[in-house]
Amino acid sequence: MKDQPATTGAWGRLVRFGFQQLYTRFAWAYDTIAAGVSFGEWEAWGRCAIPFLRGRRVLELAHGPGHLHLALRAQGLDVVSIDLSAQMSDRARRRIEALLRRQPAQAVNGLRLARADARRLPFRDAAFDSIVSAFPTDFIFAPETLRAARRVLRPGGVLVVVPAAEFHGAGIPERVVAGLYHITGQRRSAPALIADRFAGAGFSLRAEVVETRRARVTVWVCEATPLPPA
């Protein structure tokens, strides 16, 4: 994703179409592609969000194939994950059902997946301690998404987003993949424009960096600030 809230023009439309196809028609290839472009670290990059979460009740936006959902459950967190893609929901469901077969004690928590739009969250006010999203598309910047996220967070809650990772190495493979991230808009910092957008929805944003073996992973920690009186 780029430093702007959305890619624009013909190239932007093509990029968005490509991502839409990857999340839907070609969801079966998502894990393979993600592992390839991250040199096997994709799941580890998503887990970089976990240390910044607060409380036990967690909402995940855009769960994709379900890897982070399982990691959150493994931490003993009470997690609910949503996604709009029927294909991704199916892949995540199968992955979680496999876990439940291996660990029947987890069955008491059920699947905890929902088909839902992040802009219109079907949850009560202040229902969650934390919200997390790893490598979301531009929906995360929609004012409706940020307002909905702030609404369902309790006072003192936090929205944690993993928007980007940058490789340590400067070898040819790393440069090629970094170039692909740049072309598709997947490299992002946290400029004032983005911080202002989050602030306008009731969040105070700070950027953290988590080191993995191959990369520096950016994590946005967005603390819910007090809402103005109605």
pLDDT in tens, 20-64: 777 777 777 778 877 877 788 999 999 999 999 999 999 999 999
What are the tens digits of pLDDT across the range 184-222? Answer: 444 444 466 788 899 999 999 999 999 999 899 999 999
Instruction: Please spell the DSSP secondary structure of 35-61, one letter per residue.
Output: HHHTTT-HHHHHHTTGGG--SSEEEEE
Query: What residue ranges define each of the domains in the chain, with the CATH number in brackets?
Result: 9-175+204-224 (3.40.50.150)
pLDDT confidence of residue 34: 79
The two tokens of residue 105 are 């004690």
Q: Is the pLDDT of residue 10 over 80?
A: no
Residue 143 host element (H or E) = helix 143-152
| Mean of pLDDT values over 127-143 | 94
Using alpha carbons, select from 188, 162, 165, 189 the residue that is nearest to residue 177.
165
Question: Rounded mean pLDDT of the chain?
Answer: 83
Least confident of 68-72, 160-164, 184-188: 184-188
pLDDT of residue 105: 75
- The residue among 227, 50, 81, 56 whose CA lies nearest residue 147 is 227
Question: Cα torsion at 88, 111, 157, 142 (round to 10°)?
Answer: 30
d(CA 177, CA 180): 5
Beta bridge partners of 60: 81, 132
Q: Please choose, from the candidates 131, 142, 93, 135, the residue with its C-alpha nearest in 3D space to the C-alpha of residue 224.
A: 131
E strand spans, 89-152:
113-115, 128-134
Separation CA 138–CA 182 (nearest Å):
15
Statement: residue 17 has pLDDT above 70: no
User: What pLDDT is recorded for position 27?
Assistant: 75
Spatial CA neighbour of 214 closest among 165, 163, 164: 165
Angle between helices 67-74 and 86-102 (to 10 degrees): 40
Please give the angle made by the CA atoms of 114, 116 and 122, to the nearest 5 degrees.
90
